[in-house]
A and B are shown apart, each in its own frame.
Chain A
Amino acid sequence: EVQLLESGGGLVQPGGSLRLSCVASGFTFTNYAMNWVRQAPGEGLEWVSIITTSGGETVYADSVRGRFTISRDNSKNTLYLQMNSLRGEDTAVYFCAAVNGCSGAHCPGVQKWGQGTLVTVSS
Chain B
Amino acid sequence: DIQLTQSPSSLSASVGDRVTITCRASQGLSSYLAWYQQKPGKAPRLLIYTASTLQSGVSSRFSGSESGTDFTLTISSLQPEDFATYYCQQLNTYPWTFGHGTKVEI
B-contact 0/1 string along A19-61, CB 8 Å cutoff = 0000000000000000001000000111100100000000111
Q: Which residues of chain A come closer than 8 Å to B30, judged between CB atoms?
A: 106
Given contacts A44-B100, A47-B89, A114-B43, contact A109 B34 (CB under 8 A): yes
* Complex contact B49–A44 (CB within 8 A): no
* Complex contact B87–A115 (CB within 8 A): no
User: What is the total number of residues of chain B having a CB less than 8 Å from a CB of chain A?
Assistant: 29
Q: Does B92 contact A (CB under 8 A)?
A: yes
**Chain B's interface: helix, strand, loop or mixed, by majority?**
loop
CB < 8 Å neighbour of B50 from A99, A109, A110: A109
Task: Name A's B-contacting residues (CB within 8 A).
Answer: 37, 44-47, 50, 59-62, 95, 99, 105-111, 113-116
The 10 sampled A-B contact pairs (Cβ below 8 Å) are A47-B96, A47-B97, A47-B98, A106-B32, A108-B34, A108-B49, A108-B50, A108-B53, A109-B36, A109-B91
